[in-house]
Structure 1
């Protein structure tokens, strides 16, 4: 089969031969299947509805909403705080998050210090 190709206004003729698909495909050695390598892990069990309700509705506690690090602690034991007052600042994924008091109360205890690593739902501050 002849083809005519024009490049920059100049015509070229080329002769092309079409081969069968099987003839033109390169031959490769067979690939052995990759070994199945995995590490079994325990599937985390979500908390029951009762446990979740207890941790979410307890206004005498302030828990971490994220996994991160404590940047600063703004409340001290026996200090009175107002509702929504910042009691500490956490950093998670390069973002700072202000943790606030759920209600007006007196701080009973602060369970972390700046630089502490915290996990999700970890108890941070207790109120009286």
Structure 2
């Protein structure tokens, strides 16, 4: 029987692997979201560069989160995911495009609030894992 920690790790790894595959197979979706997100702040030429830079940072971030989950370093994964949660909150508050491209064309979440709820579930799962890791370290 799986415990809470293992179940969370499996859930999170599946989510992040799907996000990684989706971003690799459909980079245009996340790039268009990033361009819409940053267009108000920067000129168009700079926006294209920033969008591509953020895309590659997102790929590296996902790989790092997966690796830290496997190596039982949920705190690092939690810290890396917090900016993603804030982006989904910002997109909700400012009514930016709903599909951020998180999963490419694998699946989409239909509304801002569903994105925010989904990202909150991931954030809570990472927090639970961090708590359980810390608790197991202090017991030993």
Report the TM-score range of the alignment, normalised by the length of the smaller protein: under 0.3
Greater per-residue helix proportion: 2
Greater per-residue strand proportion: 1
Larger relative contact order (CA 8 Å, sep ≥ 6)? 2
Q: Larger Cα Rg: Structure 1 or Structure 2? A: 1
Q: Normalising to structure 2: TM-score of the pair?
A: 0.20
